[in-house]
Amino acid sequence: MREGVIAANNILHGLDRRRPDYRAVPSVVFTLPKLASAGLQESEARDAGRDIEVRFKDTSGWLHNQRMNEGFTGSKIILEKKTRAILGAHILDSHADDLINVFALAMEQGLTAEKIRDVLYAYPTATSSIQYMV
């Protein structure tokens, strides 16, 4: 859908040509628990020469995962060290489909880890755990 909008814009307003930005496209595998990803993998960031910090968390002991009796959950967030930009997010969780959208939004809008960490999220929700993931 986004490509169609951009193509129509380029046809109608040829002087203001745009290209789709695929850096933060979220994807979800609807398994139990769900597996979601957006942005760069750790290896892609390293291969691109980025100076990164990897924030891996085993989230199986967190409240929202214990309530769902999920024994195998986790998150891996790839941050650029200097700017604290979110380069990638990878989540295994029953709420991964919703969580990944927050990270995709943050990447697309250039929000830092601190910016999404400091949001006041409804509690207790899976999204309230974002502050601990970043």
* pTM greater than 0.75: yes
Task: State the CATH architecture for 23-133.
Answer: 2-Layer Sandwich (3.30)
pLDDT tens-place values along the chain, 134 residues long? 778 888 888 888 876 777 777 778 999 999 999 999 999 999 999 999 999 999 999 988 887 777 777 889 999 999 999 999 999 999 999 999 999 999 999 999 999 999 999 999 998 888 988 999 99
Report, in this order, helix, strand and coil percent for the chain, each rounded to 5: 35, 25, 40
| Contacting residues for 119 by C-beta, under 8 A, at least 6 apart | 130, 131
> Domain-by-domain residue ranges, the chain?
23-133
